[in-house]
Structure formats: structure tokens, C-alpha cells
Chain A
Amino acid sequence: MSLAARFRLRAPNSAGSSAAFARLCLLPLAIVVAAFFLLPMLRLTAVGAGGPKGMAAYAAILIEPRYRATLINTVVLAAATTTATLVIATIAGLFLQRNRFPGHALLVAMLTFPLAFPGVVVGFMVILLAGRQGLIGDISLRLTGGKLVFAYSLGGLFLGYLYFSIPRVILTVMAAVEKLDPRLEEAARSLGAGPWAVHRDVILPALVPAFVASGAIAFATAMGAFGTAFTLATNVDVLPMLIYTEFTLAADLAMAAALSVGLGLVAWAILALARSFAGTTIAAAG
């Protein structure tokens, strides 16, 4: 029996007051989370079912062609971003964790610098790259005589989500590579495996949990990202923009609420699935 446990037996009051104190410590949290998150989310769900369509508003997300097309757009875009980000971040992350050279720290700092950029700023970065006065348009004008402008299309959104996700995923990949057991690779090499086989059979499989965790974050973030789409003012229908227009222009509160609940559920489910697979706590980023 530990010393503390013995004391607790002798002084049950102290243990009782500790438990009461712990409850007191949770009280502010309970009040704030209940008042400003749980209650509002319940209300959102109720409003979603309280429109003229009733509960059918939720089904409409899947059935009505306009909503379904938007949902498919959003999922395809998020999946494409996630795949591209994982490929890019794995190549760069493996390289950075495995090699040390002058300027290494600076390069890592440059790659993680945009981590705290909000979606609106990311949108502006895309405009500077691919917008009407953008760098890509400038270069293409000089090379081919045609001005390449795609910031305000699906390509621009794709570029924006890539910009947003790459720093996060690179950090996760680097941390996972650092934890790899180098003896496994040595064993594979001593058995005659070439660099390609070592990557395919040893390194990449060991990184799968990191891919799942960071991929889920990238996917959920891309699904719900509003700031970037808003700044680019795209004519591409993605779910967050649809919710916004339903709310402000169409003033269809019930449909906006139903779509929000649907979006929230999908994002949450993806993260929960990934977590049960990868076994770590993960979260989407603003």
C-alpha cells in the first residue's frame, strides 16, 4: 500500500474533499461547454429537422441533385488534396528527417511557417500565385504568351488546401520517421534488399499509422474549410460555401442547419475512424 493510500484510509475526509474539489474544478468547463457547444449543437440539429421538409431535410443532402453534386465535389476535392499532400509530404519529410545539410533548420522552418495561416490568408496566397496579377500568370505570359489564371476555379481551391495541409502532414511524417527502428532497415539491407525494396517493404508500411492520422486531418479540414473558398469567391460548389449561401442568400435556415450537421458528422466520423485505427488523438485544424 502506498504512503498516500494509507493516509487516505486514515483520513477519509481529505479524500472526500479532494473529490469534491475535482468536481468543482470541472464545473466552469461543464457550464461553458454545455452552454456554448452542446446546447447550440442540439438546437442546430433540431432546426435542421424543423424546416418545411422536416427530417427529410437530412435525406435531401443525399437525394436532391444540387446538394448531392456539391457533396460529391467536396469529397472528391478533399480526397484529391489528401492524396497529393501525403505523397508530397512523405517525399519531403523522409528526406528532411534522413539527411542533415547546411540550411536544414531553415528549410524545415520554411516548410512549417504557414502552419498558423488562417484559411483567408491561404486564399490570398493562392491569388498571389494563380490570380489575375499572379506569379504563375506572369511566367506563363512570358513563356507562352497566354496568361494562366486558375485561382478562382477548382484548381485554386486544390492549391489552397494543399498549401494548408502540407506543413501539418510534413511535421507528422517527420516525427514518425524519427521513431522508426533503424535496425529493421539494416536487417532488410543485410538480406540484400535494395533502397526501393526497403522503402516499399519496411519504411512505408511502418509509416501507415502516421499516414492515416495526418491524412484524416487533411481530409476533414479540406471538407470543412470555409475561409479559403470564401476568399477565392469560387463558383465551384463546395459544402461550406453551400451552407453559407443557404444561410445568407437563400435564408433557408433549416437546410443550412441540416447541411452543417451532416458536414460535422462526416468530419467527426472520419477522425474517429482514423483514430481507432491509428490509436492516437487527432483533430482537424481551423
Chain B
Amino acid sequence: MLRRLIFAGQLAFTLLVAAFLIVPAVLSMLAGVTVNYFRGIRSGVTLEWMVQVWELYADTIVRSFEVAFATLLFTLIIGVPAAYALHVRGGRLSRLIEEIITLPLAVPGLAIALALLLTYGGFGAFRGSRLFIVAGHVVFTLPFMVRAVMAVFAAIDVKTLDESAASLGASPWRRFRDVIAPNARPGILAGSLMVVTLSLGEFNLTWMLHTPLTKTLPVGLADSYASMRLEIASAYTLIFFIMIIPLLVVMQVLGREKRSAA
């Protein structure tokens, strides 16, 4: 009897926590397609707000994808070889480098953005371009790519593979291309999903780094929260949800596969 009571109590508590997290998200999704949120869903369902968001903010949505994929490209080019080198070299220097590249996760985005502005604010063309935002996103997301790839290297003993290939006379570049990179695929995929998701939602850095001509989606969101009616802000948020939910689902599925494989 007592056991059942405890179970029921814990279940109720957990459901309450889930409601706290999910109810506002559902409210926002509903508000995005409701004619008048104040009068409720009875006032009718409409796509009018979505159309208005597209007219007002389409450029931010497109730009966010551009920035996310540019960030992904850079983190791949920089992160995958670096993860390989850090893994095979090992030692104190490699650990120090790892430590340094994970620092941007501890230091708040606001501080990094301010630092970038103080350093490159004078370079007008660079400061005003999307590349400036990409630079910030790369610094912030790089550790996720490096770590995801290094985790795979640690799991499959890539060092032995690499040494076997070397003993057969393969050049370092061929080894990287034909042995290392293909084996790192699960890590590259996991890292890429993470990088794109983080970049699409990044606000703290981007708010400081953007110019009126380089607004991204989260910057536009903040703008709509401050100055648009609730239905438009909600419709805009709904578009953001639609963009990131598929990424989250794939990440969860991959995570589950990894756990069941281990």
C-alpha cells in the first residue's frame, strides 16, 4: 500500500515537472496558429501569422541555415583532423590543447562576443559580414565536434588501426582519408548534429555580433518577443521548433542506438 502511494506520488511529481516544461511549448505552438490568443483557440485556426512571419523574417531564417552550415563546414575541417592528432599524440600538450578549446563552454557567450568585438570591431568589412557571426559560432561549437570524434576514436582503438595501416606502408594522408575518417563517421555525425542545432539556436554571442543586415533567427525571435503581438512571436517560435525538432529526434535515436550497442 505504502509502495503504491510512493509510486503515485513520484509519478504525479514527475508529470508536474513534465507539464511545466511542455505546457508553455504547446501553448506557444497553439498561439502561433490561433486567430486571437486572448480569445483562445475558439476564435479559429489560421496560418496568417506564419505567412506574416515569413514576410517579416524570412531573411533571418535563411541566414541562420547559412550560418549553421558554414559553421559546420569549418568545425569539420578544423575539428576532425584535430581530434585525430590529439588522440594519437596524447600526452600533456594534447590535454592542454583540449582544455583550451573547451574553455569557450565555460566562459559566457557575452564575454566571448565582447572580446571579438573589441578585437575585430575595427575591421569593417569582416565585422559587418556573416563570417563574423560564423567565427563566434565556430569557437563555441568546435569543442562539441572535437569531443564527439575523439569519443569514437577512444572506443574503436584507432591508434592500432592507424599503426597497422602505417606498417603496410600507407602515407599519413592516405591513412587519414581511408582509415581514420571513415571510422570516425558516427562521431562526425553526432558532432555535426550538435553543431547545427547549437548554431541555429545561438543567441548570446550572436546578439552582440550581429548588425541590422546580419540578423539570425534567434536575434529575430528576441526582436519579435519585444515588439510583435503574441501570435506572431509564437508563430515564429513554431518555425524554430519545426527546424530543430527533427535534429533533436535524430540525436535521441542515435544516442539510444549507441547505448543499446554498448
- B187: interface (CB < 8 Å): no
Q: A91-B14, A118-B202, A121-B221 are in contact. Are A264 and B107 (CB under 8 A)?
A: yes
- Given A129-B23, A227-B204, A264 and B108 touching (CB < 8 A)? yes
Given contact pairs A18-B166, A123-B225, A283 touches B85 in the complex (Cβ within 8 A): no
Contact in complex: B164, A118 (CB < 8 Å): no
CA distance A119 to B81 in the complex (A): 32
Is B105 engaged at the interface, CB distance under 8 Å to the other chain? Answer: yes
Assess whether A261 is in contact with B111, with CB atoms less than 8 Å apart: yes
Known contacts A33-B101, A91-B14: A286-B109 contact under CB 8 Å: yes
Are A133 and B21 neighbours in the complex by a CB distance under 8 Å?
no
Judge if A57 is at the interface, Cβ distance under 8 Å.
no
Chain A contact-residue range equals 35 or more
| A204 interface residue per 8 A CB criterion | no
Whether A117 pairs with B201 at a CB distance below 8 angstroms is: yes
Q: CB distance A135 to B24 under 8 Å? A: yes
A235 at the A/B interface (Cβ < 8 Å)?
no
The one of B22, B160, B204 that contacts A286, using a Cβ cutoff of 8 Å: B204
Determine how close the nearest CB of chain B comes to the CB of A175; give it in whole angstroms.
Answer: 9
B166–A28 CB distance below 8 A: no
Among B10-60, those with CB < 8 Å from A are: 10-11, 13-15, 17-18, 20-25, 27-28, 31, 37-38
B153 at the interface (CB under 8 A from A): no
Q: How far is the CA of A115 from the CA of B194 in the complex (A)?
A: 11
Q: Tell whether, in the assembled complex, residue B106 and residue A39 are in contact, meaning their CB atoms are under 8 Å apart.
A: no
Q: Considering the complex, which residues of chain A in the window 231-286 have a beta carbon less than 8 Å from any beta carbon of chain B?
A: 231, 233, 240, 243-244, 247, 253, 256-257, 260-261, 263-264, 267-268, 271-272, 281, 283-286
Q: How far is the CB of A52 from chain B (nearest CB, A)?
A: 17
**Complex Cα spacing A193 to B164, Å:** 55
Q: Across the two chains, which residue of chain B brings its CB closest to A170?
A: B17
| A21 close to B172 (CB less than 8 A) | yes
User: Does residue B214 face the partner (Cβ distance < 8 Å to A)?
Assistant: no
Cα distance A30–B79 in the bound complex, in angstroms? 11
Could you tell me if B103 and A124 are in contact, using CB atoms closer than 8 angstroms?
A: no
B197 at the interface (CB under 8 A from A): yes
Q: Tell me the interface secondary structure of chain B in the complex.
A: helix
Please measure, in the bound complex, the distance between the C-alpha atom of A243 and the C-alpha atom of B105, giving whole angstroms. 19
Within 8 A of B (CB), among A74-120: 88, 91-92, 94-96, 99, 101, 107, 109-120
- What is the chain A residue whose CB lies nearest that of B169? A14
Q: Does B77 lie within 8 Å of A28, measured CB to CB?
A: yes
List chain B residues, Cβ under 8 A from A124: 24, 28, 221, 225, 233, 237
Min CB distance A38 to B, Å, is: 7
Closest CB-CB distance, B230 to chain A, in whole Å?
Answer: 6
Write 29 A-B pairs (CB below 8 A) sorted by A numbering.
Answer: A4-B166, A17-B171, A29-B81, A32-B78, A32-B142, A37-B100, A37-B139, A40-B116, A41-B107, A41-B112, A43-B119, A44-B111, A110-B18, A110-B21, A116-B198, A116-B244, A120-B222, A121-B201, A124-B233, A125-B24, A129-B24, A133-B37, A133-B38, A223-B108, A225-B108, A227-B204, A260-B110, A264-B106, A283-B106
Q: List residues of chain B with CB under 8 Å of any chain A CB.
A: 6-7, 10-11, 13-15, 17-18, 20-25, 27-28, 31, 37-38, 74, 77-79, 81-82, 84-86, 88-89, 97, 100-112, 114-116, 118-120, 135-136, 138-140, 142-143, 146-147, 160, 163-164, 166-167, 171-173, 176, 197-198, 201-204, 207-208, 218, 221-222, 225-226, 230, 233, 237, 240, 244, 247-248, 252
